[in-house]
Structure 1
Amino acid sequence: MDMFCFQCQETSKGTGCTRVGVCGKTSEVANLQDLMIYALKGISQLATKADEIGLEIEGLDRFIVDGLFMTITNANFDRERFLEKIREALVKREEIEKILLEKNVDLSNLSDYASFRVNTDDDIIYKSNSEEVGVLSTKDEDIRSLRELITYGVKGMAAYYEHAHNLGFENKEIPKFMRKALSMITDDSLTVDELVKLTLETGEHGVKAMALLDEANTTTYGNPEITEVNIGVRNNPAILVSGHDLKDLEELLIQTQGTGVDVYTHSEMLPANYYPAFKKYDNFVGNYGNAWWKQNEEFEKFNGAILFTTNCIIPPKESYKDRVYTTGSSGYPGFKHIPDRKGDNPKDFSEIIEHAKRLPVPTEIETGKIVGGFAHAQVFALADKIVEAVKNGDIKKFFVMAGCDGRMKSRNYYTEFAQALPKDTVILTAGCAKYRYNKLNLGDINGIPRVLDAGQCNDSYSLALIALKLKEIFELNDINELPIAYNIAWYEQKAVIVLLSLLSLGVKNIHLGPTLPAFLSPNVAKVLVDNFGIGTIKDVESDIEYFLA
């Protein structure tokens, strides 16, 4: 076994990748990611001691958040970046240790997480391969399952927090909880019940992180509004932006004004088209392509330069590898990386813009428009119309089909499910799962589209707010009394924090597919089933019958 990773839905054989990641990461990078998390746990052990005495360590929040984000599935495949980040982590750890000793904090009996030493890159590689670093170092299956569930939830939380932080929005309580959680899961004395409690607490802070990002996005760019998004192309050289970070997109749009270079969104960046602030840029054309996993085919045909702002990278074809750039927490060997902002100065996108000017215009792969922009503010504006449709029986049920898309053929289930739903039902969606049905002609109900797209995966928060608003309007005691069914697809760790967040809000009977996570032990899965009614998908016909019963 060269590695062990089971954090994503497509993990090998549904149990774990042991030679190379299905995502494409090498065993060496997988082990460095494990050591990155290991080091962050050690930093968090020290940092919680600083928290106890009210001592704030400058730059610590951002460092931990960025380190977590780098280890999310499909975010960063770059060996050199992880070696650099681990070296930085050890320097950061020593700085915290020095500060605590000056404050006379007792640091005797530090664990290996907080005390291991490496001097060279070879030492780092050797340590990353050691038995105590990886996931399987926790021998008890249930403890391991809960530790990883919490870890993956914290990773997803970190991703959302970083986007908010990039827009100048902070909530110190969130990174403080991340440190607490990372530290607590190193404690071998914690029981299953205590870890279950920490898991639910992770969901509560996930809600706070998504609320903060919602505030950051809407304050900065306005509330998303109903928008017809162009999916065709123009006859100009162009840059295709993938990932999730709206600040990166904004700075790129500003810097491409007047250059003759158009900008398109791809995959999870599609919802940027719904924000009023971005509509003023005349070179912001629309969306090109589909979900992340189709990028090999679509990036080749796009012809222009490509920018990854976050995760969703897959190993590229040689035909377009030389025109791909990364920024932020993302990275891939051979891709050029655009450095972070320094102070209040924006990122410098001049190299990718000049590169785009030299490239052919995009090849058109489809034409027409798709409609989105149904985040909570827009749906609240339509509340009277929606409530009337429910009361008079025109809308019988809402189906939350948010989450992630992926490569497995089993995900055709979600297209077939959407097509088979009765015409008196409405789909509420967010995340790249939408690409399984957002281009189908499913019609509308009294002018309300049957697919209401709230936005990115983090905008699942909007769907929760919509449910809570309907609960209030219909004067119900329990959110689960609403005519809403949850049939959610998942792929990676941001979906994990969305799930935990929904559970913390009291949502029950969520169906998760196309498979349940490999990191859920049978006993932990049973806890979720018994307490929250978590289930998985079967087949379209029987599932629709179940949901409509």
Structure 2
Amino acid sequence: MFCNQCEQTAKGIGCNIAGVCGKNEEVADLQDLLIHALQGLALFAQEGRKKGIIDDATDLFALEAIFSTLTNVDFDPDRFVVLINKAVELREAMKVKVAAAGGTTDFTEPPATFIPTGSVADLVAQGAALKLIENLDSDVNIRSLKQTLLYGLKGIAAYADHAAILGQKDPAIAAFCYEALAILLVPGLTVEQCVPVAMKAGEINLRAMELLDAANTGTYGHPVPTPVPLGHRKNKCILITGHDLHDLELLLKQTEGKGIDIYTHGEMLPCHGYPELKKYPHFYGHFGTAWQNQHKEFPNFPGPILFTTNCIQKPRDDYKDRVFTNGLVGWPGVKHIADKDYSAVVAMALAMPGFTDEVDNGSVLVGFGRNAVLGVADKVIEAVKSKAIRHFFLVGGCDGAKPGRDYFTKFVEQVPKDCVVLTLACGKFRFFDQQLGDIGGIPRLLDVGQCNDSYSAIQIAVALAKAFDCEVNDLPLSMIISWYEQKAVAVLLTLLYLGIKDIRLGPSLPAFITPAVLEFLVNTFDIKPIAANPEEDLKAILG
């Protein structure tokens, strides 16, 4: 096993015995084998497109399968066996169609003829033998760029899959995924050949995020500023965590009128701002504070817990019997719901005690998506012109357990009172309950939403630049980005594609970025690692 796709990778180099995230060697090798199988499918799907052959079901499967290799999605070996065999089955079906259309089918790359063995153990051996990362390229810098592309691709697939669930699709996204998977097989590439593909990944991810934004706002309305209780009230309860708005909607519908309150955790918090979700009176509050405390908190929640697509880490044994998973999420021994029927979750909630008292822990304000922020753009612009607002800081991204993330808490605590903090994604749980006050009625802490709402933050920046008749890089705006997994890589590629410079990234730089590639990023985009302390960065930014 070798995996260095997330920020907490062992010793800042790579996990080679077991993943710090909880992934074992068996799952890591199966994930590599699935990518290998998808590369075979990609070769024929690309050729099929040349002949006008586009299969929507195949495209959707490819996105789901790539997504399943993201950090903290699916740690169930048996489910990878199904995905690997399905990828080969679809490859062979596409091969037949391509041949009938007169296309090329005599590919010599190993994934084109890969045959999976029968048992899990044999498949694991096949995956281990690939040495997928090591064999991306013999040149460490080209390998680094290919890894950046691969990990960005996983993020793109995640956003595209979420959008597709709500009916928003673009065949160009799957087409690029096939292109990228095939490029990873090409030996002897140069830096000059790799960089444009990485920039195209940023462009495609922007499109995927645009689709997801349209899917979420088109289905549930534009978020509106909404206070969310952090305490609880006396009632039966269910906790939902992850990212999937559709799963939340289904849970709300299936618990309506049953005397059960729904609480969010993690990146589900911003869902309270969507009009079509907040209309349910039993959609009550948010449970939990910082990401790293979740395992201490979950056992104290007196009801079942539903994990949806791309959650945090796998549940601990002492509360695993109360956990249900959905979508792409899966762990051995955890109950998986494949048909969106939450009756078992509801039955457990009714059987458990729920909250037997009422506690007021205050509230936090969510719902500052682009529509809400741009709705008061005139006030924001005037505040900047009058110097009431000196600077904006986008402090967002992923959270994780690795030491050093308290930097982001300290940073926000020390942001001057004439500055505004925009935040999104689970990184905000380092400071989301800070009471920063307001500037002329404009809250100093604006929750833009999930990591899935990065498009909204980008549109806010673009609109402000247009209002001030300048480039985004000329705005009084600084980006302080924390990263953990592959969606953050995809968003970073999008920011680079858009030409955004002077991004501060932390708490540590990706292990898959070599010194030479880092030098290229610094020289081209002025990317900076965060300083040892926030005081240093604030001084550099504000003078």
Distance in 2, Cα, partners of 1:235 & 1:123:
52
The Cα shift of 1:315 comes to 3.4
Task: Pick from 327, 336, 344 the counterpart of residue 351 of structure 1.
Answer: 344
Compute the RMSD of aligned alpha carbons: 1.4
Note the 1:389-538 alignment, pairs <5 A. Answer: 389-476=383-470, 478-538=471-531
User: Residue 129 of structure 1 corresponds to which residue in structure 2?
Assistant: 128
Q: Is the 8 A contact 1:301 1:362 kept in 2?
A: no
User: Residue 299 of structure 1 corresponds to which residue in structure 2?
Assistant: 298
Q: Is the 8 A contact 2:21 2:313 kept in 1?
A: yes
The Cα shift of 1:294 comes to 2.6
Which shows bigger deviation, 226-235 or 100-109? Answer: 100-109
The Cα shift of 1:459 comes to 1.2
Q: Evaluate the alpha carbon distance shift between residue 294 and residue 106 of structure 1 in structure 2; reply closer, same or farther with a 3 A threshold.
A: same
User: Residue 216 of structure 1 corresponds to which residue in structure 2?
Assistant: 215
- TM-score (structure 2 length as normaliser): 0.97
Q: Is the 8 A contact 2:396 2:481 kept in 1?
A: yes
Task: Pick from 108, 116, 119 the counterpart of residue 118 of structure 1.
Answer: 116
Which shows bigger deviation, 50-59 or 11-20? Answer: 50-59
Q: 2:89 is aligned with what amino acid?
A: V
Q: Evaluate the alpha carbon distance shift between residue 498 and residue 362 of structure 1 in structure 2; reply closer, same or farther with a 3 A threshold.
A: farther
The Cα shift of 1:110 comes to 2.7
Distance in 1, Cα, partners of 2:453 & 2:26:
34
User: Residue 64 of structure 2 corresponds to which residue in structure 1?
Assistant: 66
User: Residue 86 of structure 1 corresponds to which residue in structure 2?
Assistant: 84
Aligned residue for 1:480, secondary structure, equals: helix
The Cα shift of 1:133 comes to 3.3
The Cα shift of 1:226 comes to 0.7
Note the 1:281-292 alignment, pairs <5 A. Answer: 281-292=280-291
User: Residue 26 of structure 1 corresponds to which residue in structure 2?
Assistant: 24
Q: Evaluate the alpha carbon distance shift between residue 332 and residue 365 of structure 1 in structure 2; reply closer, same or farther with a 3 A threshold.
A: farther
Q: Evaluate the alpha carbon distance shift between residue 192 and residue 365 of structure 1 in structure 2; reply closer, same or farther with a 3 A threshold.
A: farther
Distance in 2, Cα, partners of 1:411 & 1:91:
44
- 1:312-339 Cα offsets, whole Å, 9 max, x none, are 3423322210110111111111111111
The Cα shift of 1:136 comes to 4.9
Q: Is the 8 A contact 2:136 2:185 kept in 1?
A: no
Q: Evaluate the alpha carbon distance shift between residue 366 and residue 114 of structure 1 in structure 2; reply closer, same or farther with a 3 A threshold.
A: farther
Consecutive unaligned residues of structure 1, counting only runs of 5 or more, are 341-346
Q: Is the 8 A contact 1:155 1:494 kept in 2?
A: yes
Aligned residue for 1:158, secondary structure, equals: helix
The Cα shift of 1:135 comes to 4.4
Q: Evaluate the alpha carbon distance shift between residue 129 and residue 25 of structure 1 in structure 2; reply closer, same or farther with a 3 A threshold.
A: same
User: Residue 369 of structure 1 corresponds to which residue in structure 2?
Assistant: 363
User: Residue 380 of structure 1 corresponds to which residue in structure 2?
Assistant: 374
Note the 1:132-151 alignment, pairs <5 A. Answer: 132-151=131-150
- Percent identical among aligned pairs is 46
User: Residue 548 of structure 1 corresponds to which residue in structure 2?
Assistant: 542
Aligned residue for 1:126, secondary structure, equals: helix
- 1:174-225 Cα offsets, whole Å, 9 max, x none, are 1111111111121114322111110000000111111111111111111001
Q: 2:344 is aligned with what amino acid?
A: E
Distance in 1, Cα, partners of 2:204 & 2:114:
30
Aligned residue for 2:480, secondary structure, equals: strand
Distance in 1, Cα, partners of 2:349 & 2:12:
40
Q: Evaluate the alpha carbon distance shift between residue 79 and residue 443 of structure 1 in structure 2; reply closer, same or farther with a 3 A threshold.
A: same
The Cα shift of 1:291 comes to 4.5
Q: Is the 8 A contact 1:4 1:136 kept in 2?
A: no
Distance in 2, Cα, partners of 1:384 & 1:513:
33
Distance in 1, Cα, partners of 2:134 & 2:177:
18
User: Residue 201 of structure 1 corresponds to which residue in structure 2?
Assistant: 200
Distance in 2, Cα, partners of 1:109 & 1:491:
36
User: Residue 36 of structure 2 corresponds to which residue in structure 1?
Assistant: 38
Distance in 2, Cα, partners of 1:361 & 1:244:
24
- Paired residues in the alignment total 540
Note the 1:311-322 alignment, pairs <5 A. Answer: 311-322=310-321
Consecutive unaligned residues of structure 2, counting only runs of 5 or more, are none
Distance in 2, Cα, partners of 1:509 & 1:256:
47
Q: Is the 8 A contact 1:131 1:137 kept in 2?
A: no
Distance in 1, Cα, partners of 2:194 & 2:68:
25
Which shows bigger deviation, 210-219 or 116-125? Answer: 116-125
Q: 1:147 is aligned with what amino acid?
A: K
The Cα shift of 1:88 comes to 1.4
Distance in 1, Cα, partners of 2:203 & 2:228:
34
User: Residue 308 of structure 2 corresponds to which residue in structure 1?
Assistant: 309
Aligned residue for 1:159, secondary structure, equals: helix
Distance in 2, Cα, partners of 1:405 & 1:222:
27
Aligned residue for 2:201, secondary structure, equals: helix
- 1:355-403 Cα offsets, whole Å, 9 max, x none, are 2111121487861110111111100111111111111111100001110
Distance in 1, Cα, partners of 2:113 & 2:432:
51
- TM-score (structure 1 length as normaliser): 0.96
Aligned residue for 1:129, secondary structure, equals: helix
Aligned residue for 2:169, secondary structure, equals: coil
Q: Is the 8 A contact 1:23 1:73 kept in 2?
A: yes
Aligned residue for 1:325, secondary structure, equals: strand
Q: 2:426 is aligned with what amino acid?
A: C
Distance in 2, Cα, partners of 1:455 & 1:234:
25
Distance in 1, Cα, partners of 2:315 & 2:462:
42
The Cα shift of 1:505 comes to 1.4
The Cα shift of 1:152 comes to 0.9
Distance in 2, Cα, partners of 1:216 & 1:315:
28
The answer to whether the aligner puts 1:152 opposite 2:151 as a matched pair is yes
Note the 1:52-63 alignment, pairs <5 A. Answer: 52-63=50-61
Q: Is the 8 A contact 2:229 2:360 kept in 1?
A: no
- 1:431-469 Cα offsets, whole Å, 9 max, x none, are 011111111121111111111110000212111111111
Q: Evaluate the alpha carbon distance shift between residue 430 and residue 20 of structure 1 in structure 2; reply closer, same or farther with a 3 A threshold.
A: same
Distance in 1, Cα, partners of 2:75 & 2:290:
20
Aligned residue for 1:427, secondary structure, equals: strand
Distance in 1, Cα, partners of 2:312 & 2:428:
18
Distance in 2, Cα, partners of 1:220 & 1:83:
34
Q: Is the 8 A contact 1:31 1:134 kept in 2?
A: no
Distance in 2, Cα, partners of 1:292 & 1:93:
40
Q: 2:463 is aligned with what amino acid?
A: K
